Amino acid sequence: APLPTRAPRAPAPAISFEFFPPKTEALETQLWSCIRRLEALAPQFVSVTYGAGGSTQERTHATVTRLVRETSLTPAAHLTCVGASRGEVDDVARRYWDAGVRHIVALRGDPPSKAPYQPHPQGYEYAADLVSGLKRVADFDISVAAYPETHAQAENPQADLDNLKRKLDAGASRAISQVFFETGNFLDFLDRALAAGITAPIIPGIMPVSNFAQAKRISEMGGTYVPGWMAEMFDGLDDDAETRQMVAAAIAAEQVRTLQANGIDEFHFYTLNRADLTYAIARILGVKAKEASASFFEKKETKKL
């Protein structure tokens, strides 16, 4: 079907970004240059993922608290139920609250191995339980995960939607969707969510993909359908990074504009800690860098001279 024409003055949507905590100094430098570039777009919030081990969890905490201390951004800390008692999870949440963090992305998480998920004997069992627990700790602003193509372990699509409703009823304010590439699947999901009585915002999770092989692996692990047309577009480009970047921008641009033409006015970007594609796609959506960013680029230019 042809792409619907975009209204000439569609208001710029709200945007947010996801980062992951860096494992090495080089990755940390890459992340912070990405954060500085995207900060200029004045996102609603930026979220930082949470791993399964102690050291990666500390890195999440370090990144989130540095965002509070050193940037104008509103950080959202991901937090999971996996491998910890309710008391331990509550303590992490309390540390965030004390550091000034008010937004948590509450998730069940996955076990570090491929073994089936087993809740900790004294832990929160599902994300809905975590949401209730967090609300008892403090009045956090809470986001939860939604699955347009249904979570892999759900009994069926309706049971998964019922679960999403439970998470929102427990006190979450919005859902952020798992990545998807078949835009129609997300729009169908929104219709089904509305029919299930869900009225909270469900923000589409957009992953601009230029490393197709890597994205296919991550996506399929998370149960995301990778359409044949997408594989076809990247076919034979393994050694041609420049063209892959252009193809990636075109695919994501078409996706966000189709969503925008269907009335979506909020987008969450899986940045993979890289700014370029996300920055370009935000521009296509009509989001421009704020004043501060001009000085950021001026500074950069001056340095070059």
Residues assigned a catalytic role: 18
Contact call for residue 96 and ligand FAD (CB under 6 A): no
Contact yes or no for 118/141 (Cβ under 8 A) = no
Q: Which of 75, 123, 205, 208 binds ligand FAD (CB under 6 A)?
A: 205
* Residue in 23, 78, 24 with CA at minimum distance from that of residue 46: 78
Instruction: Give the x/- contact pattern for ligand FAD in 18-57, rule: CB under 6 A.
Output: -------------------------------xx-------
In the complex, least distance from residue 148 CB atom to ligand FAD, rounded to whole angstroms:
10
Contact yes or no for 295/39 (Cβ under 8 A) = no
Binding to ligand FAD (CB under 6 A): which residues in 149-178? 151, 153-154, 159-160, 163, 167, 176, 178
Closer to ligand FAD by CB, 92 or 247: give it: 92
* Residue in 206, 201, 232 with CA at minimum distance from that of residue 219: 206
In the complex, least distance from residue 79 CB atom to ligand FAD, rounded to whole angstroms:
8
Closer to ligand FAD by CB, 37 or 108: give it: 108
Report the phi/psi class of residue 236: left, alpha or beta, with left for phi > 0 and alpha for psi in -120 to 50. left
* Residue in 278, 256, 182, 260 with CA at minimum distance from that of residue 6: 260
In the complex, least distance from residue 1 CB atom to ligand FAD, rounded to whole angstroms:
27
218-222 long-range contacts (CB < 8 A, ≥24 apart) are: 219/179, 219/181, 222/152, 222/178, 222/179
Q: Which chain residues interact with ligand FAD by CB under 6 A?
A: 49-50, 78, 80, 105, 107-110, 126-128, 145, 151, 153-154, 159-160, 163, 167, 176, 178, 205
